[in-house]
Copies of this chain bind each other. A is one copy, B any other.
Amino acid sequence: MDYAKQYQEYLARANQALEKACEIFLPEESEVCRAARYSLLGGGKRVRAVLVLAACQLAGGDTAAAADYAAALEMLHCYSLIHDDMPCMDNDDYRRGRLSCHKQYGEATALLAADALVTAAFEAVANAPTHPQSRVQAAAHLAKAAGARGMLYGQELDKHYETVHASESELLELHAHKTGALIIAGVDLGCDAAQADDALCTALQHYAAELGLVFQIVDDILDVTATTEELGKPVGSDAENDKTTFITLGWKAPAAWQSSIMMLPWLPWRILARKQTFCARWQWSC
């Protein structure tokens, strides 16, 4: 199995679904939509979208049905990044090697562009070519993961721990929400598309929760070890802001991770592809 090739196939399918969603939901006559497209189509690993497609395939579903869910999740992720970068939040000028949305288009347009993305995400799910029951499940999963008991709570905690030092358990709670919720939503949406059984969904949720944690640990490492060119955004910001991270807490990451900046995009597929190991690990009978 050529993981890199498989990942590229999923990536191509996700990007195709995103292009289609832009055509339908974000007409380019609008400046707000152009700003949304600028942020949405400006690259990115699309790990969440790949997770949707991989989970759907693992569950025996048709990935064509999952493509709109994959696009929706990426749109929702992108909306969160635009709002996160704004001056009243993290005040970041760069994202993925380019000016962040509000630096390129102004604050008002960036605010509305993100709002357009979150509504387009739900519109894509609601109109996906799947059974209505699958769509309402996907919409419920997406909303719960993105909302005040999911990602937004993580953003709230992140702001809070800018002024107060987080303990290890508090840091885990923060990232379980801020990063983990949308990673878990990836496998949830894949299962929704395939109408997978509950046992597989639960197993995949456990897997995704750990994957989300890996993500954040690698992110913390990269903030120390990578260059601005490699990351496409300024590095060293955690130390500069005196932030608690998995590094400052003394977590020892495998040496392989530290030298594997490029490994991250392949992780979901690498792990999911090892179906037998995965099943044994999560006590799922396959």
Contact = CB atoms under 8 A, between A and B. Distances in A.
Given A25-B148, A30-B156, A32-B152, A143 B115 contact: no
Contacts of A149: 25, 27
B147 A119 contact: yes
Interface string A11-34: 000000000000001110011110
A88 interface: yes
Given A32-B148, A116-B152, A127-B140, 5 more contacts: A25-B148, A83-B115, A89-B111, A123-B144, A125-B139
For the complex of A and B, 5 pairs with smallest distance between CB atoms:
A123-B143, A88-B107, A119-B147, A132-B132, A126-B140
Contacts of A137: 126
A7 interface: no
Interface in A124-173: 125-127, 131-133, 135-137, 139-140, 142-144, 146-149, 152-153, 155-156, 159
Bin the interface of chain A by size.
35 or more
A136 to B, nearest CB: 5
Contact of A88 (B89, B111, B116): B111
A209 interface: no
A120 B143 contact: yes
A108 interface: yes
B108 A122 contact: no
B148 A108 contact: no
A126 B115 contact: no
Nearest to A79: B115
Given A32-B148, A135-B136, A139-B126, A155 B112 contact: yes
A70 interface: no
